[in-house]
Amino acid sequence: MKPLDVLLTLGLALVASAAVAQPSTGYKLDSINFDMWCQETKHYSPERCDQRLPEDNKEFEAYVHAVEKYELRRLKNERQRQESDRVIMHGDPVDNPTRPSTAPVGAEGTIPDPQ
């Protein structure tokens, strides 16, 4: 199978599945549906997919584990990129304080300390 076919199939499987939060990672990972994987990725007949054979189930679990590993890495990289963009690229401490204590004196919405 060509790499492009694999990516398209993976994308189709992820889009077709329902989103489920993964509490252990803190990232929202898409779940992958066995029937979609069986028919769209493996190109098995619906009758065979309905049987859900043990060897098919093991292969599906391995596939899900591999996809989640790469998806988790992608989500972590995306979160890190967004944080870097927020803090470094747009990190003006006067206009966009990252902590409430760094707000400038007399800034809109703050009251200067009368000391």
**pLDDT digits (tens), the chain, 115 positions:** 566 565 455 555 554 443 443 445 677 777 889 999 999 999 999 999 999 999 999 999 999 999 889 988 988 999 888 888 777 766 666 665 566 555 555 555 555 555 5
Radius of gyration over alpha carbons of the chain, in Å? Answer: 23
Q: Does 102 fall in a domain?
A: no
Q: Does 95 fall in a domain?
A: no
Q: Does 16 fall in a domain?
A: yes
Range(s) of the domain holding residue 45:
3-80
Instruction: Name the helix (H) or strand (E) containing 28.
Output: strand 28-30
Q: Does 38 fall in a domain?
A: yes
Q: Does 110 fall in a domain?
A: no
Which candidate, 27, 9, 28, places its Cα nearest to that of 18?
A: 28
Q: Does 106 fall in a domain?
A: no
Q: Does 113 fall in a domain?
A: no
Name the residue with tokens 């992820």. Answer: 14
Residues with Cβ within 8 Å of residue 57, at least 6 apart in sequence: 34
**Number of domains the chain is built from:** 1
Instruction: State both tokens at 24.
Output: 């252990």
> How many Cβ atoms sit within 10 Å of the Cβ of residue 60?
19
pTM above 0.75, yes or no: no
Q: Does 48 fall in a domain?
A: yes
